[in-house]
Amino acid sequence: MDGGVRKTGVTSSQVAQRAGVSQSAVSRSFTPGASIAPETRAKVLAAAKELGYRPNAIARSLTTNRSRIVAVVMAYLDNLFYPDVLEQLGRLLAKEDYRLLLFTGLADGDSDPVFDQLMQYRVDGIVLASTSLSSALSEECAAAGIPVVLFNRTTERDAVSSVTTRNREGGRRVAEFLLAGGHERFGYIAGLESSSTNRDRLAGYREALAEAGHTEILIEVGNYDRAEAQAAARKLLTRPDRPDALFVANDHMAVAVMDVARFELGLSIPEDISIVGYDDVGPARWDAYGVTSMSQPHKRMVEATVEILMSQINSGEIEAEHRVFNGELVVRTSARLPASGVVEVEGRRVFRPGR
Amino acid sequence: MDGGVRKTGVTSSQVAQRAGVSQSAVSRSFTPGASIAPETRAKVLAAAKELGYRPNAIARSLTTNRSRIVAVVMAYLDNLFYPDVLEQLGRLLAKEDYRLLLFTGLADGDSDPVFDQLMQYRVDGIVLASTSLSSALSEECAAAGIPVVLFNRTTERDAVSSVTTRNREGGRRVAEFLLAGGHERFGYIAGLESSSTNRDRLAGYREALAEAGHTEILIEVGNYDRAEAQAAARKLLTRPDRPDALFVANDHMAVAVMDVARFELGLSIPEDISIVGYDDVGPARWDAYGVTSMSQPHKRMVEATVEILMSQINSGEIEAEHRVFNGELVVRTSARLPASGVVEVEGRRVFRPGR
DNA sequence: CTCCATAATGCATACGCATGCATTACCGAG
DNA sequence: CTCGGTAATGCATGCGTATGCATTATGGAG
């Protein structure tokens, strides 16, 4: 089970010998801004090329105490929102000369199980997408000087930064849209109930509905899972008092719900029921669904995430920073249109209720 | 731009001092199978816990010459096939106590740009999904003793293992299915033309059609991209001699094509045109699409990938291994049914032409 | 032509851990 | 009671790089 003899690579000393210089000179040749004569550097680079030398990032990390690796913990990869985020995250981190160590395959909620792994690799930063971290571990990170950014989740704890959108306002906006559309019976298909994102969206939705006199919301839980969302939809949509307006906590579940509504239950959308989702993710935009959905500006969110990381890594100051973005209700065909409030902005139809 | 003073973590020497033992003893306490007295180990672990010690994986890598990191290079994350693969890859690697370093955001074709990065981190293995590697670099890996596995691509080069399905046979099967359905005019929407996967699928398709006397295939190129595939579909489907049978190189493009066919061109599927895809990926199974598609057993493919990696890492023998799996044509509603050959297997309807 | 400031280079060491080797402790057999 | 064998432990060193410090080379000013 272990006979592997990995050939040890070319070292800086070997290059040094070849080039007739010291190991230090080799090191400096690969360090931007180091004090090294151009011709020496040229000699070194030539020798390095001949030998196929590449600096050993592992050894470098040992001395610099910087790994140039950012850990990303991500769940729900079957929700295209996250692969999108992942791809851009990888791109931006690469631009900053950082690598991305991915941890996946665990559920939402607590990332504690993988925490040891992260720490062992002395990552320079941590991004937790669609998941959170226990209070004890957050503080351990802060103590160790490792910046942590929650993506699309929040927590009240300090020392942990976050990047989110105004989910409460988003929920309100959805309610206003559905109310303006003249709907009467409101439903909600929840994500993971413990997630801040889900709680806030529901809170805003409920709030705005209550202000309009609608205090009853039919709720089922989908846990951000396609199959569970479909089961929830079956329950909700076969009731005698079936809602005529349904807010689904994200698009990943919304398209699943639409499949059930249309193909299992034979409902017409939006004639029989209006459906509004969240995220404005790929499939929601596809013609077969055309989900009316609260968009999240994920590009800017990822940019903010990387900005926070880089700033904290470079300054060494771990001060929790909370970036909150605005969403926009993108209007498509999955929900009845209100008489007014739908406007065209930058090629998209969005809902902006008049004041 | 750099004032960060990362607090250096707790070291094994500190733990040793605390526990009143040597640094070696601490190291051995964390090394399974090492010679260490149970009570000594207990003392060490206690001290380690008090101090919050975690072995430094970076330093360990330096001495063991093993990073326990596998690099994964992956393109097309917007095609759910790949996130699926990624998730499982992460899961299986974690089970083997390996970490996953992700490189993404680059196009199909050549992974050379990120190659330096990989090598600098002395990864123990490399998985190239939906992309390939130049011949020179492949050999460099082999020379360095780093196993490389191509996932869903092949190459004639030695020293590089691969995991694929029988794409040629898959293409044939699709052709047979469409022929059995009585179609007359055949089209193909290609993926990236330089990819082995695309070439093989088309070759099999063309071969089987030719055997049946159909030598003309209308071909447009979609490059595995949604927008390009839709543009290709518009061209192909507005021709006067529009095909009545269309094979699309993967499902990611197939659903895009269906959207164009149905919602832009008002075609009925499968009445006006039959569409067959490849991969049997998430959206293809959704009721709104119901794509008839060649499935790829991605779970087993990922398992094989990890098996190859582990075997080569542990043995140190880098001998190219090629694992080839069989697909199955899963029959849904996007293509006209043939009179015979569709059978029910394990809850799925598949096409298995009689001999 | 001399002298000094600066750039370039080498030397030596540290980073945190694993591991071969030597040493010590321990236990059972004779 | 002695001896040999094994388990447990410590010591010392190496892994490949970065970097502070000392030293040497260089070039320009006076």
CA distance B311 to A207: 58
CA distance B274 to B286: 17
CB-strand contact B144/C, under 7 Å? no
Q: Report residues 8-47 of A contacting strand C, contact meaning Cβ closer than 7 Å.
A: 20-25, 28, 35-41
CA distance B256 to B271: 18
Return the DSSP state at A110. Answer: B
Give the CA B174 to C1' D24 distance in Å: 76
Residue B288 and residue A259: Cβ atoms within 8 Å? yes
Please name the residue of chain B whose CA is at the shortest distance from the CA of residue A76. B87
Across chain B, which has 355 residues, the per-10-residue mean pLDDT values are: 55 91 91 86 91 93 93 93 96 94 77 80 92 76 86 84 95 96 95 92 96 93 96 95 95 97 94 96 95 96 97 88 95 94 91 81
CB-strand contact A215/D, under 7 Å? no
> What pLDDT does B4 receive?
42
A88: Cβ–Cβ under 8 A, 6 or more apart, which residues? Answer: A298, A299, A302, B105
CB-strand contact B26/D, under 7 Å? no
Name the nucleotide nearest A38; use CA and C1': C8
Q: Which residues of A touch B144 (CB under 8 A)?
A: 6-7, 9
Q: Which residues of A touch B56 (CB under 8 A)?
A: 120, 122
Segment A9-19, tens digit of pLDDT:
889 999 999 99
Query: Closest partner residue to B6 among A80, A145, A256, by Cβ?
Result: A145
Residue A1 has pLDDT above 80, yes or no: no
Lowest mean pLDDT, pick from A168-182, A200-214, B146-160, B227-241? B146-160
Query: Closest partner residue to A6 among B94, B256, B316, by Cβ?
Result: B316
Give the CA A42 to C1' C2 distance in Å: 33
Contact in structure between A73 and B90 (CB atoms under 8 Å): no
> What pLDDT does A37 receive?
86
Residue A82 and residue B83: Cβ atoms within 8 Å? yes
Contact in structure between B264 and B233 (CB atoms under 8 Å): no
Residue A54 and residue B116: Cβ atoms within 8 Å? yes
Tokens of B224: 């595995």
Q: Which residues of B touch A289 (CB under 8 A)?
A: 288
Cα separation of the two ends of chain B: 70
Residue A6 has pLDDT above 60, yes or no: no
Min Cα distance B10 → chain A (Å) is 10
> What pLDDT does B2 receive?
38
Return the DSSP state at A288. Answer: T
Q: How far is CA B294 from CA A14, A146, B173, B285, B291, in A?
A: 52, 46, 8, 12, 9
> What pLDDT does A184 receive?
92
> What pLDDT does B3 receive?
38
> What pLDDT does B144 receive?
83
Interface test with B, best of A87, A333, A334 (most B CBs within 10 A): A87
Q: Which of A290, A301, A288, A294 is nearest to A328 (CA)?
A: A294
Residue A58 and residue B62: Cβ atoms within 8 Å? yes
Give the CA A29 to C1' D29 distance in Å: 31
Q: Which of A274, A3, A309 is nearest to A161 (CA)?
A: A309
Residue B314 and residue A283: Cβ atoms within 8 Å? no
Is the dihedral angle over the CA atoms A80, A85, A88, A93 positive or is it negative?
negative
> What pLDDT does B140 receive?
78
Q: How far is CA A107 from CA A77, A140, A201, B77, in A?
A: 11, 22, 20, 20
CB-strand contact A12/D, under 7 Å? yes
Return the DSSP state at A242. Answer: -
Residue A4 has pLDDT above 70, yes or no: no
Give me the domains of chain B, ranges plus CATH numbers: 12-55 (1.10.260.40), 69-165+298-326 (3.40.50.2300), 167-296+329-351 (3.40.50.2300)
Return the DSSP state at A31. Answer: S
Min Cα distance B221 → chain A (Å) is 20
> What pLDDT does B175 receive?
96
Residue A266 has pLDDT above 90, yes or no: yes
Half-sphere exposure of A171 (CA within 13 A, CB side): 24
Half-sphere exposure of B102 (CA within 13 A, CB side): 32
Residue B87 and residue A66: Cβ atoms within 8 Å? no
Residues forming a β-bridge with B217: B186
Q: How confident is the model at residue A7 (pLDDT cuts 50, 70, 90)?
A: low
Write out the E strands in chain A: 69-74, 99-104, 125-129, 148-151, 161-165, 186-190, 217-221, 245-248, 274-279, 292-295, 322-325, 328-330, 342-345, 348-351
> What pLDDT does B5 receive?
47
Query: Taking the CB of residue A292, how many other CB atoms lie within 10 A of it?
Result: 30
Q: How confident is the model at residue A151 (pLDDT cuts 50, 70, 90)?
A: very high
Query: Closest partner residue to A59 among B62, B80, B82, by Cβ?
Result: B62
